[in-house]
Structure 1
């Protein structure tokens, strides 16, 4: 049984190890720790109305209060034993959830102190979860009460009645940092707000550049050129004294060239960047009638962004400045860089690649289609996280990052992305990766890690890029690519798949969330992990990694980690892969033969956990509604009897132990029909069934058309394609006209309302295998098996048992009712 005292004990020990007790760090004074109490004085007074019943009358005490007096910081810690009680959706259930409770108490302290709210859940270090929020001190409330006027006191009381908005801070998700590390959070407190600030700055700059008649492509070049030029101290100190916009443009251009040359970018590539930036010298933003001039954009970036590259900020904010740059690139073309002519890999996927590849300070990472450098940036960040010596850092930046980018218009953005991170000496070339043989690449760079998002629908196939990357790696090097699922299954890519497996070992296939690349491309993707130049003779780890915890927030330009769950999910996925963890219905180990498709869904074991009374009830009620429909008419008195509540219990038996596996090809014949074209469809009374998830698949009622089939027998329909409707199954009671987006499963047995509803529900448990890029083929249906009650004596499906199970569902008796009109 979970015990909150255990969680508190873990945190107490963490505080001790981190140096919050004087016996550990004698040089840190004025640290006070209170457990479910506080001292007399201002801390006590601030909790006068802090009871978690939120009535504003009683005192309340958090599990821990840590007062760092010398830093003017208060840390509030709330613990819950059960990880399911970590935080609520709206962070507003202080009594029930750890993070919610910490935030509740912290609002009272933020009147006078910078405050960290820490929510902790879990019973051991392995499952421990820590989330931190920061409240900035309300400066207007920081006066002593004796210094406040009556009006100020009234206003401050009103402010205290409103919960201030905290913002999430990054840090260890399993540990509490030391007092000195905590202090770093607001030594430069702007750091904690930079992500939100940079998003706003990026948005405003895009709008202003658009108003100045700057094209999508030119926007990114201008930002890159300015950021590069600002690294030149002479330009940065003198540009504000230049009155002519044309002269500023020339000075900006010359400074960029100087920075590139000092960064040892090859002369040929410097010339490429120059040519792609020449438009600046005669652009509208250097003209007098421009609403926003070049000098305005330089000053905006200098004052609002670039200051985080100088002095002490440089080490702390390098990652944030890079975040701004990537955020700006995402705005170009609707959030994914499509306006640049490429599709940007979401940065959380770049980070995942670096973890899966086991990147360390000895890694030599190559991206042969580098784009703007997302994979290389993530790899460099990972390398430097191992705290190499200074001479190692220089070697890493000079030798261990290799990138090829063919597009002369994208290449400047790649170089800027690397130099912004203080890495101008990487081997990033403006070249076609196929201009070098794989042997030439290996001999010159000796890469042991390859990361790749190959271009889609270009002169070469995706797997040709994958093969070239793998062939370029040292033996047993790790290569990872994210590709369109089509190349993992289509017949016209089979020869390439065979060639890859003939030379390299496929370690893992992970199916990612639908539309990972958002609205830009509309394709579904797989991550492929290889060991280069190794025989493919071991099992391949295959997994469904559909839920990364990120959301496509309205008005946003990228995936957002609103709940702060990505780091934990990333670690879980990496551990699953490294440990080859088999989770029924989620991951599996499979011997892949040369003719097999590389689709994880097709190799998952269906544990039928999703076959529940609630799912069966949904199909029963859908059938009942059909019974009540006769030529479009409904008996409303009977229809309203159908319950709409959910049934949450499970069946009291183990399906896979007590039932028998049955191929559905033994139960059904499979048919596929052409659709009646939309332009000749006319409104009528016959249901038109398509790949829909609602209304039993009925999209409309139409008139029959000569030459197109009417299905006049009871059957089951199964969605053949689509992003939403694929693999949705429905039992059809009434005659209907089929769409080409469904399969019609004609029964070989006597189907009725009971067993038809049951089988439709059972078939829906196969839905997890299919998506927009992985449609249902005839061979899929023929190989599909489900579990059914079996009569051992007759060696056949026990239809009577099925009917008994159905009859136990509330209101199932309505399946026998006769329609009245």
Structure 2
């Protein structure tokens, strides 16, 4: 017997909800009543790009203003079935992504809140609004024919990385009425995520970034001919800078503003370049810095081929659109992550470089960058430099640590604002020789809050005098923290960078991650000279698969105290960090190739405490992995020590070992004889 089809009562739900909105005299607009507004345009563009996928547009839209004159888009989605209000994941977050970090349209289409949160993310991506109210409403008729409804109200914002937070319990829409809206917004503003919750969301978003970057890079590589690797880097940098905007001063560049004209001064490249110039002017970067950025990007943006229109569209507009559509959401929600570092690593994943070159440009994982920063004792008052900056991942980690420390210790809002500005403008310095990589470093720091003023395009070994590159160019940069992941093909595996940087510092600490052979024989002369002036505090053996998929080298972290001669009796802390708590894989289709399987975050924190305070902080590690010993300052090749094995085997243990070996040897002989007899029989 065929099952009776369950009828949706969505029209009844819509009538009930829209009746409420009318009674509050709110200007709701149904999907069919298109408004030529930023919101409607963003939703239209978003769903045109995604081909609909069954998810059209919200059933009702509002733009409400509180007494402080702040606007809040409100998106409402109705579903007329029981138990279709919201679908949450195991962390009680709205589950709108699949295991492969792709949109879960099954949930988006079926559940009211999931649909509304999905639409809200479209606004975060494609409009200037950063705080959005997403409402889902569903219901059913009970056995008496009465409509039973449920409402889910979620806040979707840059603050929660677009994930959405439940605001509270509501039985109707009266919280949207003008007389109640201020108190509702106060309730919204009181929401907060714990650091653990925020870290989980960031981790999830970073996995999405990796998937999106891989897709974008392969798309450009396969379908956009004639673009070299430098061109791709510059186009990504130019597109992102042009679409960042500055509220009230520089409007973000929209795709529609690119007309694919070929007339002089009005090509798509000219338009993007004008927007970049306006952005950099308002950012008040030093003139020399602005000129360098513009000159670098202009060469790619204004070439004839990339601006030539085919079928009414230039290659530049096509690439610009791909970049904004695939990446826009991530830099608009303000993720404090090494965004361009991930981009940088993905690009080099499919470019035809030799293995040695790949090893030289490999990205330091963000959690390792943070470890280096903490080992170098970085705080709000530190002056941090990096002599092989790459995409600025280490400086981003340092800046984040400095800003966190400032927020935790400065209680005056005015003083905090001044300190934050000083950290970004004056307390970070990076040097990068390769122009394309340098441009990524600039972009990375701009995205993280514009700490780009002292990223220098120089050779740190021969062309840097220790002074600020921009701004206070006559003053020495007062570095007291040095962090580094050098190119391993450099002299002494990169210890030449270490000697150079430490020699220009008066005090402080340094933490470097480097190929382990640097401490066991490949950099003897550098190491001996370094120890004549500086103290080696710790030697940390890192996991062999730390750079899995990118490089195959064993690395160590070395920690130094600056400007204090290493004496032969100075204690060095040797730590075997081979088990850092993470399990890594290199599966291309895996949703996550890094899993915390053994208290990884706690282990990284313990390493910092062990280096600073000693074995009293042992918890996850044992004395088998932690050893305090000495080195010979005149040796230079004894930096990678492990705990001596003092145990003397007993006679019983020796007999057992010999017996096991003999048993194995006899077994092997018998197996070989059996094979030979089998072959003769055949």
Task: State the TM-score bracket (shorter-chain normalisation).
Answer: 0.5 to 0.7
The structural deviation recorded for 1:596 is 4.0
Deviation sequence 1:413-453 (CA, Å, 0-9, x none): 11100001112453111112134676657961101100011
The structural deviation recorded for 1:553 is 3.2
Q: Structure 1 residues 511 and 349 mapped into 2: Cα distance closer, same or farther (>3 Å)?
A: same
Deviation sequence 1:40-86 (CA, Å, 0-9, x none): xxxxxxxxxxxxxxxxxxxxxxxxxxxxxxxxxxxxxxxxxxxxxxx
State the match for 2:461 in structure 1.
434
Corresponding position: 1:566 with 2:600: yes
SS of equivalent to 2:268: helix
CA distance in 1, matches of 2:466, 2:612: 29
Corresponding position: 1:136 with 2:136: no
State the match for 2:449 in structure 1.
422
The structural deviation recorded for 1:562 is 2.2
Asked whether the 8 Å contact 1:584–1:607 carries over to 2, the reply is no
Corresponding position: 1:325 with 2:367: no
The structural deviation recorded for 1:363 is 1.0
SS of equivalent to 2:230: helix
Corresponding position: 1:456 with 2:488: yes
Corresponding position: 1:240 with 2:256: yes
The structural deviation recorded for 1:543 is 1.1
Corresponding position: 1:207 with 2:232: no
Tell me the matched-pair count. Answer: 483
Asked whether the 8 Å contact 2:485–2:514 carries over to 1, the reply is yes
| Aligned residue runs from structure 1 range 507-526, under 5 A | 507-526=537-556
Asked whether the 8 Å contact 1:217–1:340 carries over to 2, the reply is no
Of 297-306 and 411-420, the range deviating more from structure 2: 297-306
CA distance in 1, matches of 2:286, 2:293: 11
Q: Structure 1 residues 136 and 272 mapped into 2: Cα distance closer, same or farther (>3 Å)?
A: same
SS of equivalent to 1:522: coil
State the match for 1:342 in structure 2.
361
Asked whether the 8 Å contact 1:308–1:318 carries over to 2, the reply is yes
State the match for 2:154 in structure 1.
none
Asked whether the 8 Å contact 2:384–2:481 carries over to 1, the reply is yes
Asked whether the 8 Å contact 1:512–1:544 carries over to 2, the reply is yes
CA distance in 1, matches of 2:614, 2:164: 29
SS of equivalent to 2:531: helix
Unaligned runs of 5+ in 1: 1-108, 118-131, 150-166, 172-177, 637-821
Query: Residue 667 of structure 2 is aligned with which of 604, 625, 634?
Result: 625
Corresponding position: 1:221 with 2:221: no
CA distance in 1, matches of 2:360, 2:672: 53
SS of equivalent to 1:181: coil
Q: Structure 1 residues 531 and 113 mapped into 2: Cα distance closer, same or farther (>3 Å)?
A: same
State the match for 1:286 in structure 2.
307
SS of equivalent to 1:496: helix
CA distance in 2, matches of 1:302, 1:402: 29
SS of equivalent to 2:537: strand
CA distance in 1, matches of 2:501, 2:304: 40
Unaligned runs of 5+ in 2: 1-81, 97-106, 113-136, 144-160, 166-188, 411-415, 469-473
CA distance in 1, matches of 2:401, 2:489: 31
State the match for 1:472 in structure 2.
504
Corresponding position: 1:447 with 2:479: yes
Q: Structure 1 residues 270 and 148 mapped into 2: Cα distance closer, same or farther (>3 Å)?
A: farther
CA distance in 2, matches of 1:612, 1:443: 67
Of 411-420 and 294-303, the range deviating more from structure 2: 294-303
Q: Structure 1 residues 601 and 633 mapped into 2: Cα distance closer, same or farther (>3 Å)?
A: farther
Deviation sequence 1:589-641 (CA, Å, 0-9, x none): 111112445566533223779999999997565323323255784689xxxxx
Deviation sequence 1:548-569 (CA, Å, 0-9, x none): 3041330069984323743222
The structural deviation recorded for 1:340 is 11
CA distance in 1, matches of 2:463, 2:335: 33
State the match for 1:90 in structure 2.
none
Q: Structure 1 residues 433 and 147 mapped into 2: Cα distance closer, same or farther (>3 Å)?
A: farther
SS of equivalent to 2:361: coil
CA distance in 2, matches of 1:283, 1:330: 29
SS of equivalent to 2:506: coil
Asked whether the 8 Å contact 1:186–1:192 carries over to 2, the reply is no
CA distance in 1, matches of 2:642, 2:203: 44
Asked whether the 8 Å contact 2:385–2:481 carries over to 1, the reply is yes
Asked whether the 8 Å contact 1:543–1:600 carries over to 2, the reply is no
CA distance in 2, matches of 1:576, 1:184: 24
Of 193-202 and 370-379, the range deviating more from structure 2: 193-202
SS of equivalent to 2:191: helix
SS of equivalent to 1:541: strand
The structural deviation recorded for 1:303 is 4.5
State the match for 1:553 in structure 2.
586
Deviation sequence 1:17-42 (CA, Å, 0-9, x none): xxxxxxxxxxxxxxxxxxxxxxxxxx
Structure exhibiting the larger radius of gyration computed from Cα positions: 1
The structural deviation recorded for 1:335 is 7.7
Asked whether the 8 Å contact 2:524–2:637 carries over to 1, the reply is no
TM-score between the two structures when normalised by the length of structure 1: 0.52
Query: Residue 383 of structure 2 is aligned with which of 361, 364, 371?
Result: 364
Query: Residue 580 of structure 1 is aligned with which of 602, 605, 614?
Result: 614
| Aligned residue runs from structure 1 range 248-267, under 5 A | 248-267=268-287
Asked whether the 8 Å contact 1:473–1:532 carries over to 2, the reply is yes
Q: Structure 1 residues 511 and 185 mapped into 2: Cα distance closer, same or farther (>3 Å)?
A: closer
Of 515-524 and 326-335, the range deviating more from structure 2: 515-524
CA distance in 2, matches of 1:468, 1:401: 18
The structural deviation recorded for 1:398 is 1.1
The structural deviation recorded for 1:377 is 0.3
SS of equivalent to 1:359: coil
SS of equivalent to 2:430: strand
State the match for 1:412 in structure 2.
439
Of 608-617 and 572-581, the range deviating more from structure 2: 608-617
SS of equivalent to 2:512: strand
Query: Residue 487 of structure 1 is aligned with which of 518, 524, 528?
Result: 518
Asked whether the 8 Å contact 2:386–2:431 carries over to 1, the reply is yes
Deviation sequence 1:702-736 (CA, Å, 0-9, x none): xxxxxxxxxxxxxxxxxxxxxxxxxxxxxxxxxxx
State the match for 2:63 in structure 1.
none
The structural deviation recorded for 1:296 is 3.2
RCO higher in structure (CA 8 A, sep ≥6): 2
CA distance in 2, matches of 1:608, 1:186: 46
Deviation sequence 1:142-200 (CA, Å, 0-9, x none): 67663599xxxxxxxxxxxxxxxxx9x999xxxxxx9932499999x997853343223
Asked whether the 8 Å contact 1:217–1:339 carries over to 2, the reply is no
CA distance in 1, matches of 2:640, 2:540: 9
TM-score between the two structures when normalised by the length of structure 2: 0.61
State the match for 2:533 in structure 1.
503
The structural deviation recorded for 1:546 is 1.3
Corresponding position: 1:181 with 2:192: yes
The structural deviation recorded for 1:307 is 4.8
SS of equivalent to 1:510: strand
CA distance in 2, matches of 1:524, 1:496: 20
